[in-house]
Amino acid sequence: MMEIQHISRQYNQELEGVKNKVLKMGGLVESQVEKAISALIEQNNELAKEVAESDDKINKIEVEIDKKCAQLIAKRQPAAGDLRLIIAVIKVITDLERIGDEAEKIGRYTQKLTSIQDDTNMYAELFRLGEQVIAMLRDALDAFARMDVEQATKVAQTDRQIDQEFDRVSRILVTYMMENPRHIKTMLKVIWCARALERIGDHSQNICEYVVYFVNGQDIRHTGLE
Amino acid sequence: MINKQNGEEFDIEIDKTVGKPFIDDAKFSTRNVEVFYGDKQAIFDASIDIGKNQITAMIGPSGCGKSTLLRCLNRMNDTIQDCRISGAIKLDGEDIYQKHQDPVLLRARVGMVFQKPNPFPKSIYDNVAYGAKLHGLASNKIELDALVEKSLIRAGLFKEVKDLLHKPGTGLSGGQQQRLCIARTIAIDPEVILMDEPTSALDPIATAVIEELMISLSKKYTIVIVTHSMQQAARVSQRTAYFHMGHLVEVNKTNTVFTNPEHQLTENYITGRFG
Ligand SMILES: Nc1ncnc2c1ncn2[C@@H]1O[C@H](COP(=O)(O)OP(=O)(O)O)[C@@H](O)[C@H]1O
Ligand SMILES: [Mg+2]
């Protein structure tokens, strides 16, 4: 749909520019999430601090893209596929920004967790959830970059596995709590981190749904994917 | 059919009109209409329903045949030599090209407003009264006065001209002249109003006034508008028809056409792409 160029070259460049900025923002967010997960699982205070402190960059780029989109709408009155692209972009960056917030949250909790002595093996239990979440986010961004409906549809469905994994992890953490009530405060922080990961899965699913909306003009958010 | 982009030819099919060309509550229906100017075919197999009491917009690149099809709806093409029309055009289910149909009566039912405001070189009053007198719609001066006032009110012009009724219509601003032409059309009590690029000679404010007027008129009249402004089609119409080189490519609800058109050619045109 997009390979046919506008009569206005300036317009082409503006749309391309916005799309590239979203991809750049996606890259930043992905790296934040990766670092947050590593920091959590490896209990790396240094890395956790870095994650907690670099959310700013993501927020700035979101504001920048929002502004560009508003300018495009005002100047070009985009229609059809162009309009759906802009709407999809505005929505995608909202989810990306939230993902950034979740990563930041994990960073902050991890900083607190690293100061607490722990003899369980619970951080290792988060390994699989972390892997699944980062893979889903990466694939969702990839589907967006290529506007690939088939991939987006497939990726959106992996959210179910993440929900299941989150349930499994929660059960384990609750068991730890029951075994030793002194751990409750710590375990709650870990559960919040797992919950943040699960939310990243939800946001990634949203991104996939916007890809389908952009390409097919069909809103599948509340009707589900078939 | 063959298209050109950047000098390269590529194939895009226009087999039959996509979208929803047909609806239940049609005022006009055209079926398989073809129009020729001499040997040159200007319209190919156009079948579309025009909804009652709504605004239908016809859009497309210049020369694609919008005005030609519009003029078929009140037989304005009859006046063009060498113009031949085939197919069927029905108004309220009756074929307007049947032998017994009187084009003059038809044009009273189906009025037309043109691109350039064209008031007669007469007073504002006479501009509006002229057609009504011709069609015997008023039997005395009092009735005629009332009709002129009502028409000017409906056209949203009365307040501005009520003290100038006997001044020449040509002394008004462009936007006012166009509303005067609309008042003149309304005075004959038509059922349908055809508008061929009615605001292309007007500034944005005068355009907005006419657009508001079209929307309020559509409660009483069926309106078909040809416009080269896609934004205008998007703003005022309920249904949009897209033409390309004489073919009726796509017809659908305006909301659908502007957010999710079916045909690649429609998409290209409304997003401002080559094609
Ligand atoms: N009176 C006419 N005589 C000969 N050809 C005409 C006449 N009017 C229009 N055409 C041709 O028919 C085609 C469609 O014209 P028109 O309906 O005016 O297009 P549009 O309104 O979409 O710009 C054009 O190629 C135009 O040159
Ligand atoms: Mg024309």
DSSP chain A: --SSPBS-HHHHHHHHHHHHHHHHHHHHHHHHHHHHHHHHHHT-HHHHHHHHH-HHHHHHHHHHHHHHHHHHHHHH---HHHHHHHHHHHHHHHHHHHHHHHHHHHHHHHHHHHTS---S-HHHHTHHHHHHHHHHHHHHHHHHHHT-HHHHHHHHHTHHHHHHHHHHHHHHHHHHHHH-GGGHHHHHHHHHHHHHHHHHHHHHHHHHHHHHHHHH----TTT---
Q: Write out the CATH class of domain A9-216.
A: mainly alpha
Quick one: pLDDT at residue B5?
46
Residue B159 belongs to some domain of the structure: no
Query: How many Cα neighbours within 13 Å face the side chain of B164?
Result: 17
Residue B197 maps to which CATH number?
A: 3.40.50.300
Transcribe A161-194 into DSSP letters. Answer: HHHHHHHHHHHHHHHHHHH-GGGHHHHHHHHHHH
Contact A96, A199 (CB under 8 A): no
Cross-chain residue pair B260–A4, CB shorter than 8 Å: no
Quick one: pLDDT at residue A3?
66
Q: Identify the CA nearest to A104 among candidates A42, A156, A59, A166.
A: A59
Residues 6+ apart with CB under 8 A from A173: A122, A125, A187, A190, A191, A194
Ligand positioned closest to the Cα atom of B60: 1
- Rounded CA gap, B256 and B258, in Å? 5
- Rounded CA gap, B154 and B158, in Å? 8
Cross-chain residue pair A80–B267, CB shorter than 8 Å: yes
Tell me, using a 6 A CB cutoff, whether residue B77 lines ligand 1.
no
The two beta strands, B247-253 and B18-19, are parallel
Number of domains making up chain B: 1
Cross-chain residue pair B259–A4, CB shorter than 8 Å: no
Residue B153 belongs to some domain of the structure: no
Judged by DSSP in three states, B242 sits in strand
The total of other beta-carbon atoms located within 10 Å of residue B135's CB is 14
Residue B124 belongs to some domain of the structure: no
Q: Identify the CA nearest to A207 among candidates A164, A151, A167.
A: A151
Class of residue B227 by CB neighbours under 10 A (exposed 0-12, middle 13-18, buried 19+): buried
pLDDT in tens, chain B (275 residues): 444 444 444 556 677 899 999 999 999 999 999 999 999 999 999 999 999 999 999 999 999 999 999 999 999 999 898 999 999 999 999 999 998 999 999 999 999 999 999 999 999 999 999 988 988 899 999 999 999 999 999 999 999 999 999 999 999 999 999 999 999 999 999 999 999 999 998 899 999 999 999 999 999 999 999 999 999 999 999 999 999 999 999 999 999 999 999 999 999 999 998 76
Residue B2 belongs to some domain of the structure: no
Transcribe B65-107 into DSSP letters. Answer: SHHHHHHHTTTGGGGSTTEEEEEEEEETTEETTSTT--HHHHH
pLDDT in tens, chain A (226 residues): 446 888 888 888 999 999 999 999 999 999 999 999 999 999 999 999 999 998 899 999 999 999 999 999 998 999 999 999 999 999 999 999 999 999 999 999 999 999 887 777 788 889 999 999 999 999 999 999 999 999 999 999 999 999 999 999 999 999 988 888 888 888 899 999 999 999 999 999 999 999 999 998 877 777 765 4
Residue B156 belongs to some domain of the structure: no
Give the closest of A11, A76, A217 to B260, CB-based. A217
Report the separation in Å between the CA atom of B211 and the middle of ligand 1, taken as the mean of its atom positions.
25
Quick one: pLDDT at residue A115?
86
Cross-chain residue pair B258–A83, CB shorter than 8 Å: yes
Phi and psi (nearest 5°) for B183? -60, -40
The residue nearest atom 14 of ligand 1, judged by CA position, is B65
- Rounded CA gap, B152 and B150, in Å? 6
Quick one: pLDDT at residue A225?
53
- Residue B38 has what DSSP assignment? T
Alpha carbon of B36: minimum distance to chain A alpha carbons (Å) = 31
Domain with B19, as residue range(s), is: 14-117+191-270
Quick one: pLDDT at residue B275?
61
Residues 6+ apart with CB under 8 A from A32: A51, A54, A55, A58, A99, A100, A103, A104
Residues 6+ apart with CB under 8 A from A10: none
Among B33, B36, B37, which is best to mutate for testing ligand 1, by the most ligand atoms less than 8 A from CB? B37
Q: Which residue of A has its CA nearest to B260?
A: A80
Residue B32 belongs to some domain of the structure: yes
Give B-chain residues touching A76 at CB under 8 angstroms.
272
Quick one: pLDDT at residue A179?
87
Quick one: pLDDT at residue A4?
82
Residue B260 belongs to some domain of the structure: yes
Quick one: pLDDT at residue B6?
44
- Rounded CA gap, A129 and A196, in Å? 11
Class of residue B219 by CB neighbours under 10 A (exposed 0-12, middle 13-18, buried 19+): exposed
- Answer positive or negative: Cα dihedral of A69, A75, A79, A81: negative
Amino acid at B23: I
Contact B33, B87 (CB under 8 A): yes
Cross-chain residue pair A7–B273, CB shorter than 8 Å: yes
Residues 6+ apart with CB under 8 A from A3: none
Tell me, using a 6 A CB cutoff, whether residue B66 lines ligand 1.
yes
Phi and psi (nearest 5°) for B199? -120, 10
pTM of the model: 0.83
Ligand positioned closest to the Cα atom of B82: 1
Token pair recorded at residue A147: 């506007």
Phi and psi (nearest 5°) for B41? -85, 125
What is the tens place of the pLDDT at every residue in B179-226? 999 999 999 999 999 999 999 988 999 999 999 999 999 999 999 999
The residue nearest atom 2 of ligand 1, judged by CA position, is B37
Residue B34 belongs to some domain of the structure: yes
Tell me, using a 6 A CB cutoff, whether residue B6 lines ligand 1.
no
Quick one: pLDDT at residue B12?
65
Contact B225, B56 (CB under 8 A): yes
